[in-house]
Amino acid sequence: MSMAFLASISGHEVSFLLKNTTLNGFQKHTKTHNSYLKLGPVRIQATHVTHSSLVQSVKVEESMTKPESYLVSSFQFEEYMKTKAKHVNKALDEVVPLQEPVRIHEAMRYSLLAGGKRVRPVLCIASCELVGGDESQAIPMACAVEMIHTMSLIHDDLPCMDNDDLRRGKPTNHKAFGEEVAILAGDALLSLAFEHVAARTVHVSSDRVVRAIAELGSSVGSEGLVAGQIVDICSEGKQVNLRELEYIHVHKTAKLLEASVVCGAIMGGGNVSEVERMRRYARCIGLLFQVVDDILDVTKSSEELGKTAGKDLASDKATYPKLMGLDKAKKFAGELMDKAMKELEYFDAAKAAPLYHLANYIAYRQN
């Protein structure tokens, strides 16, 4: 992708993290990022530790004086994730029953109910609850986000795209059902996602539902996921710099994750300031998700990942470890997590606990 192409992009689409920064601007932290999940009490305090616009680190200090300092570290994150994922899985199972035409619904269910961490729907629900909403308001949107994510995986695995054989530890959809059925299954999930939000959302004003649908649509279209995909395809076999790589992954990966969080906040009744804070949080963890994905691709096996490992390296694709080196890619991941954490300081610590832990989980996941 040429810089002339980037120059044609509107200002808010241009690099939001790497703009006017260099790798030399990275700041080494004195505390490990794992300290967010220390067993002892912690207090999170924002500090500006570098002149770079990229790094706004979070200093983690031990404190025994304030009761609220126990909230993040005492939060039962694994139980929270299991409970929310169970609710999402039940809702997804009901949304796509096995009915006629059986073949297409089998294919839709095969990928949609194949497991997965359900990070995006849980983020949607957590964001809704953070601003004062409840799960019932967010669950249709949470399901829609997962349907769109599943569609993107089905299509991304196709021979004409990434040509992958393994997804979530199982044969990819086109391997199990054939390419024609896989394409149609993805199409059906995409259309059903919007139908489901419009028809099943309850206790949310119509204007908020419309805002959320517009947000979701923009995340997957020609200025969202598709934009990232097409620039990624057009960049194959070419030298890609960090700014261009960021554009690809902000759109290909982060945009849908961002929509998960923002739509949850909209459905939950968040005001403009709250929604935008959640947008900035989500943009950081969305890019973080991809940086970690790139790292795992070169450090884990196919068995550990549940998908083909080392494909990016084998196909000579641009990745963060390739362009930055593995150590600097890991540092960049930490900096993105810190920046995301800073956006949560505005909110009640108890309500924000799931989102603190989700950011940490994304940063330190192993598959």
pLDDT of residue 46: 32
pLDDT of residue 53: 29
| 41 found inside a domain | no
For residue 310, give every residue at least 6 positions away whose Cβ sits within 8 Å of its Cβ, in sequence order, or none. Answer: 297, 298, 302
| 57 found inside a domain | no
pLDDT of residue 42: 31
Question: Which CATH number covers residue 216?
Answer: 1.10.600.10
| 54 found inside a domain | no
Range of the domain at 89: 77-364
Residue type, 193: A
Mean pLDDT by 10 residues, the chain (367 residues): 36 38 31 33 31 30 30 79 96 97 98 92 98 97 98 95 88 96 98 98 97 97 94 87 93 95 98 96 94 86 60 70 91 92 93 94 84
| 65 found inside a domain | no
Q: Classify 59 in phi/psi space as left (phi over 0), alpha (psi -120 to 50) or beta.
A: beta
pLDDT of residue 169: 83
Q: Which residues pair with 59 in a beta bridge?
A: 45
| 307 found inside a domain | yes
pLDDT of residue 128: 98
In the chain, the number of structural domains is 1
| 146 found inside a domain | yes
| 297 found inside a domain | yes
pLDDT of residue 162: 87
| 62 found inside a domain | no
Residue with tokens 């790292």: 295
pLDDT of residue 312: 62
